[in-house]
Structure 1
Amino acid sequence: MQPKALALAVSGAAAGLLLVSGAAQAQETFEWKMVTSWPKNFPGVGQGPERLSELVEEMSDGRLTIEVFGAGQLVPGFEVFDAVSEGTAEMGHSASYYWKGKAPAAQFFAAVPFGMNAQEMNAWLHYGGGLELWNELYDDFGVDVMAAGASGVQMGGWFNREIDSVDDLDGLKMRMPGLGGEVMSRMGVAIVNMPGGEIFTSLQSGAIDATEWIGPYNDLAFGLHQAADYYYYPGWHEPTVMFEAIVNEEAMAELPADLQAILRTAVRDVNQDVLDEYTARNNDALQTLVEEHDVELRRLPDDVLAQAKAHSEDVVAELAESSEMARKIHDSYRTFQDKVVNYHAISEQAYYNARNPEGDTTSE
């Protein structure tokens, strides 16, 4: 064979190998497991991971599939973070305040009492440097994180007795996680932590006297009205909960760039979709609770809210001083909150005041 012909043959063979290699890479498939802290297919927060799985499979044409496991199916709800960090599952869906024992500053990314709401949190995370700080915090655990849903402002909780003043809280046993739980403990409440799936039986049996969960949509689904008579608002402790999608760093690195992009895009879609669903469903569920199940809807007394706010300032300040990273996150959070509150005073809040000039019109 002539040198020129030989060169052409070699070049053609090499090109063929590249095409075969590229095609093989394009067809490579990945099968992941996602563990969650919620009951399987639970409305809202539990259906977010299911939607995420469906989106990823559709967008990737089946190259990346994610099997979703509810709390307790593969690992307990409070062991999701460890499972992802250790590679037992490639992905998890939960809320970061559950990991306060491992990374106390993680609580800033779930819910801060009297802090930012869902709209404000999303802005901080995606345009104020919050998400970068969240990932920096999780770096030591080999975990990537993305915002994956929000509850919106939650309810103040279910109580087995009336709360007429802050004195009525003394000695209560209540399920409340995160910074809000620490605030309540300083108001005389004995805080008990447990996954959502254990709340109803604990409240019904008297193991706890009160609980907060999420809001009417989820509380109705759990049947909490069958275990407590009094339903209080507002949810000062959780102006929203930001849910998280956590991914094992090594598993993420193994994905081709296009699948990584698909995963991040799908999570961003679910992040908004979960909040939209809560906004759409909560009022209908509240009406059902009040009108069909005779639930007593009450506003928390002013002295309870005043003391909760005062203690919240102390609790958040103490957390900020607990480590250099906590201080860094806190300063970013508060700086952004000050900015957004300043603007919302003449936009969102001013509009609410104009739309509802009589103030709180909720019937008690």
Structure 2
Amino acid sequence: MDRRSLIKQAGIAGVLATGIAPAVHAQAAIRWRLASSFPKSLDTIFGAAEVFAQQVRAMSGGKFEISVHAAGELMPAFGVVDGVQQGTVEAAHTAPYYFFGKNECFALGTAIPFGLNSRQMTAWMYEGNGLKLMREFYSNYAMTSFPGGNTGAQMGGWYRKEIKTLADMKGLKMRIGGFAGKVLERLGGVPQNIPAGEIYQALEKGTIDAAEWVGPYDDLKLGFNKVAPNYYYPGWWEGGPQLDFFINQKAFDALSAENKAIVENAAAHAHSVMQARYDARNPAALKQLVGQGTKLRAFSNDVMNEAFKQAMAVYEELNTKNPAWKKIYADYSKFRAEQNLWFRFTEATFDRFMQAQKLG
């Protein structure tokens, strides 16, 4: 008589009396590794991956563990997509636009010049076609994606010299994130793609003339104000840059339905926490920077208008030579137009009024 028949006929009491214990199949513990593109010192942006891992562990009762590794520990900051694609790690936390050199469509997963703000980006992802379209694109790299945070609108960077006119952009060597370099080139600048941990040294030595990262909280930590006094705004190339959790498709498909839901919800939690931290911490950091002698300066209308013109020209060119871009950008640009019409009558008007008031 086999074990199953014995259990059925004798019942649990009878089985225990025979000394034959029924087989128990406990769910195996899951251990993943996540490679970040950021250093541990940036607790806001690197911290989003830690929040994600903590939530996965908590919701799984400790049965699903994800170890988080800073840039350089397992692979270089800009090697994480290859790592996920090849299965070297199960997951990564990064800014998709770092990888626009593989395909310009990666930029649409983070931010493009004069694109969506953070709320609009989240809306496009969760309620528009953003997630569907981007996941379809990322499937070409054997991975899926989940929104993994947003910095909110960024500052326009640190400059050793003032940028008074468009002529001042000529020959400017600037560390600038991802796709925005294509527009900077059209303005006469020379873009440099440098990881966060290497920017200060390049700016200090004069290897570059300017650099942008995120905003006051991170920039204060990185010390850029010590080597470049002019702090410009706005970061017209990053109105609402989103981070992503990239997950190897086979690793994700192997999860149970419960664990897939845990990953999805943990990512959504980290997505919300990251921007909340930036919004909460940037104001005090900006005051501290100004107190230390930082000179806040706005980009001139000439610079803004020419940058906008050149950005639109880049997108039109890509529509003619990159079919994937054309498909995704068509949906993105339509969503952007509708959102800006709505925000014009609500958010923008309210914000302008409130920012003109004297509040204690």
* Deviation (angstroms), 1:41: 4.7
Match of 1:275 in 2: 275
> What amino acid sits opposite 2:285 in the alignment?
A
Match of 2:303 in 1: 304
> What does the per-residue CA deviation read over 1:313-337, in whole Å, with 9 as the maximum and x for residues that have no partner?
1112222333222111001101111
* Deviation (angstroms), 1:250: 1.0
1:119 is the counterpart of 2:133: no
> What does the per-residue CA deviation read over 1:182-224, in whole Å, with 9 as the maximum and x for residues that have no partner?
1111111111111111100000011101011111111001111
> What amino acid sits opposite 1:91 in the alignment?
A
306 and 55 in structure 1: CA distance in 2 versus 1, 3 angstrom threshold: same
* Deviation (angstroms), 1:349: 1.4
* Deviation (angstroms), 1:69: 0.7
SS in 2 for 1:32: strand
SS in 2 for 1:276: helix
Match of 1:148 in 2: 148
> What amino acid sits opposite 1:265 in the alignment?
N
Match of 1:192 in 2: 192
Match of 2:328 in 1: 329
* Deviation (angstroms), 1:7: 9.3
> What does the per-residue CA deviation read over 1:228-280, in whole Å, with 9 as the maximum and x for residues that have no partner?
11110111111021001000111112221111111110000000110111111
Q: Distance in 2 between matches of 1:52 and 1:198?
A: 26
SS in 2 for 1:124: helix
Q: Superposed, which structure 2 residues align to 1:172-183 within 5 Å? A: 172-183=172-183
> Does the CA-based 8 Å contact 1:41-1:70 persist in structure 2?
no
> What does the per-residue CA deviation read over 1:257-313, in whole Å, with 9 as the maximum and x for residues that have no partner?
11111111000000011011111111111100001x111111112211111111111
Q: Distance in 2 between matches of 1:179 and 1:65?
A: 34
Q: Superposed, which structure 2 residues align to 1:1-364 within 5 Å? A: 8-9=8-9, 20-21=23-24, 23-25=25-27, 28-291=28-291, 293-356=292-355
41 and 33 in structure 1: CA distance in 2 versus 1, 3 angstrom threshold: farther
Number of residue pairs matched by the alignment: 351
> Does the CA-based 8 Å contact 2:38-2:71 persist in structure 1?
yes
Moved more, 137-146 or 341-350: 341-350
Q: Distance in 1 between matches of 2:198 and 2:327?
A: 35
212 and 9 in structure 1: CA distance in 2 versus 1, 3 angstrom threshold: same
> What does the per-residue CA deviation read over 1:69-120, in whole Å, with 9 as the maximum and x for residues that have no partner?
1111110000000001101100000011111122221111111111110000
Structure 1's unaligned 5+ residue stretches are: none
329 and 222 in structure 1: CA distance in 2 versus 1, 3 angstrom threshold: same
Q: Distance in 1 between matches of 2:351 and 2:271?
A: 25
> Does the CA-based 8 Å contact 1:179-1:315 persist in structure 2?
no
Structure 2's unaligned 5+ residue stretches are: none
Q: Distance in 2 between matches of 1:10 and 1:102?
A: 63
SS in 1 for 2:26: helix
Q: Distance in 1 between matches of 2:205 and 2:6?
A: 84
> What does the per-residue CA deviation read over 1:31-73, in whole Å, with 9 as the maximum and x for residues that have no partner?
1100011002522111111111111111111111111111111
> What does the per-residue CA deviation read over 1:112-137, in whole Å, with 9 as the maximum and x for residues that have no partner?
11111000000000000100111000
Q: Normalising by structure 2, report the TM-score.
A: 0.92
> What does the per-residue CA deviation read over 1:334-364, in whole Å, with 9 as the maximum and x for residues that have no partner?
1111111111111111212333458xx9xxx
Q: Distance in 1 between matches of 2:254 and 2:238?
A: 36
SS in 2 for 1:93: strand
330 and 6 in structure 1: CA distance in 2 versus 1, 3 angstrom threshold: closer
SS in 1 for 2:145: strand
Percent same amino acid at aligned positions? 35
* Deviation (angstroms), 1:12: 6.9
> What amino acid sits opposite 1:182 in the alignment?
K
Q: Distance in 2 between matches of 1:288 and 1:318?
A: 42
Q: Distance in 2 between matches of 1:54 and 1:300?
A: 40
